[in-house]
Amino acid sequence: MTPLQNIRILIVEDDEPVRQTLADILELNGYQALVARDGLEGLALAKQEQPALIITDIAMPGMNGFELLEQFRDDEVLRTIPVIVISAKAERATTRRGMELGASDFITKPFTEDEILHSVATRLEKKELVDELDAFAHTVAHDLKNPLATLNGRLWLAETMLGKADEATMRHHLAQAINSARRLNEIIEELLVLTGVRRQHIVPAPLDMAAIVAESIDRLENLLRQQAAVVHRPAAWPAAFGHAPWVIEVWVNFISNAAKYGGPAPQITVGGEPGADGRTARFWVQDQGPGLDAAAQALMFVPFTRISTVRAKGHGLGLSIVRRIVEKLDGKVGIESQPGTGARFWFELPIAPAPAPPKPTVPPLLFAP
């Protein structure tokens, strides 16, 4: 899931104490709160900021909450944003109308901090799941289409030319068919890894990085041999916490990309060092290939849900999975490169499990009689 500090939530509420309490609840729990004093201001801010979620009152001057929901429903972008309605009116008709206009949840005043946080977390999780299912379907359709078409085409040519073409031509068509079948298998494996990362709950443990890198290289033995690649490893590795099967996937992705795009007979260097902050360790894969300019780097590590609109040739799906893995392990990913100087893909992991943060408290919201 996206880090909380990057999740913007819009609050549309004309009552200043209620608006401030909602903002305090969200910000003390790691979210970024945007505030609007009425429906018109909320609509403008929603169009400008496109928040991850919207919380709105019903009874407001100018444009009320129902009219605001109608505006959201008629907007192609805003209609996908979940909306939580908060209102002092608890009548069934009011709740039903809000739901008919597209509200995701309905909370009555006075509310509690737990009610707000539970509703927000549930709506965000549902939205992320819907977005990911949409991206998953698009990725399957897009990424499987080309290799499947090539596989079918080459097998059809081989069948048509059987007994007519020379052996070299037949071998060429079959080799292309095998490559396409291998790419289909890689895509399926990547999607299975992505699904596992979303669903699986893991407890971070100390990593034997030397063994993890060795296993990653063993998995890539055929590719490394075909590319005549040489992998240089350090004598020692810094300590880090994570989940070994997932970290293997990160190394496999980074090293395979270095082998494919690191130039002829690629020289690949892997390494790691403690972070300057004393809380993390950074690991990397360095190649001596043509490097990447700023525009190309911007296409790396896009979120999986953006794969359908932003693609880095040969990298997009794999690196989006790397990002998902590392962020779920409370780490970071990145790239350092300039044209002509090769590329260094890196990831950071904590060197110790993160302590559970103390639960923040919010001043009670008082309603005068």
- 71 vs 140, residue with greater confidence: 71
Query: Could you give the residue range(s) of every CATH 1.10.287.130 domain in the chain?
Result: 130-199
Contacts of 8 (CB under 8 A, 6+ apart): 31, 32, 33, 34, 49, 51, 52
Query: Could you give the residue range(s) of every CATH 3.30.565.10 domain in the chain?
Result: 205-350
Cis amide bond preceding 290, omega within 30: no
Give the pLDDT mean for 141-160: 81
How confident is the model at residue 117, as a pLDDT? 94
Query: Could you give the residue range(s) of every CATH 3.40.50.2300 domain in the chain?
Result: 4-128
Residue 314 binned pLDDT confidence (cut-offs 50, 70, 90): very low
- Mean pLDDT, the chain, whole residue set: 84
CATH for 130-199, among 3.40.50.2300, 1.20.1250.20, 3.90.1150.10, 1.10.287.130? 1.10.287.130
Give the pLDDT mean for 172-180: 86
Cα separations in angstroms, 26 against 8, 60, 65:
9, 21, 20
Query: Does residue 366 carry a pLDDT above 90?
Result: no
Residue 359 binned pLDDT confidence (cut-offs 50, 70, 90): low
Residue 347 binned pLDDT confidence (cut-offs 50, 70, 90): very high
Query: Does residue 33 carry a pLDDT above 60?
Result: yes
- pLDDT digit string, tens, across residues 184-214: 876 777 667 766 666 677 888 999 999 999 9
Residue 125 binned pLDDT confidence (cut-offs 50, 70, 90): confident
Give the pLDDT mean for 339-357: 83
- pLDDT digit string, tens, across residues 39-56: 999 999 999 999 999 999
Residue 306 binned pLDDT confidence (cut-offs 50, 70, 90): very low
Return the CATH superfamily for domain 4-128: Response regulator (3.40.50.2300)
Nearest to 350 by CA among 368, 325, 332, 324: 332
- Look-up: residue for tokens 């505006």? 71
Q: Kindly report which listed range (100-109, 179-188, 259-268, 327-336) carries the lowest average pLDDT score.
A: 179-188
Give the pLDDT mean for 337-344: 87
Query: Does residue 369 carry a pLDDT above 70?
Result: no
Give the bridge partners for 289, in sequence order.
Answer: none
Residue 358 binned pLDDT confidence (cut-offs 50, 70, 90): low
Query: Does residue 304 carry a pLDDT above 70?
Result: no
Q: CB neighbours (10 Å) of residue 149?
A: 11
Residue 312 binned pLDDT confidence (cut-offs 50, 70, 90): very low
Amino acid at 314: G
- 248 vs 366, residue with greater confidence: 248
Q: 10: exposed, middle or buried (C-beta count within 10 Å: 0-12, 13-18, 19+)?
A: buried
pTM: 0.58
CA 347 – CA 358 distance, rounded (Å): 28
CATH for 205-350, among 3.20.20.100, 3.30.1330.60, 3.30.830.10, 3.30.565.10? 3.30.565.10
Cα separations in angstroms, 266 against 49, 86, 183, 251, 338:
44, 59, 21, 16, 17
Residues of the chain above pLDDT 90, percent: 41
| Interior/surface letters 29-44, b for 16+ CB within 10 angstroms, e for the rest | bebbbbbbbbbbbbbe
What distance, in Å, lies between the first and last C-alpha atoms of the chain?
Answer: 42
- 187 vs 160, residue with greater confidence: 160
How confident is the model at residue 266, as a pLDDT? 93
Angle in degrees, 0-180, between the axes of helices 92-100 and 65-74, rounded to the nearest 10: 20
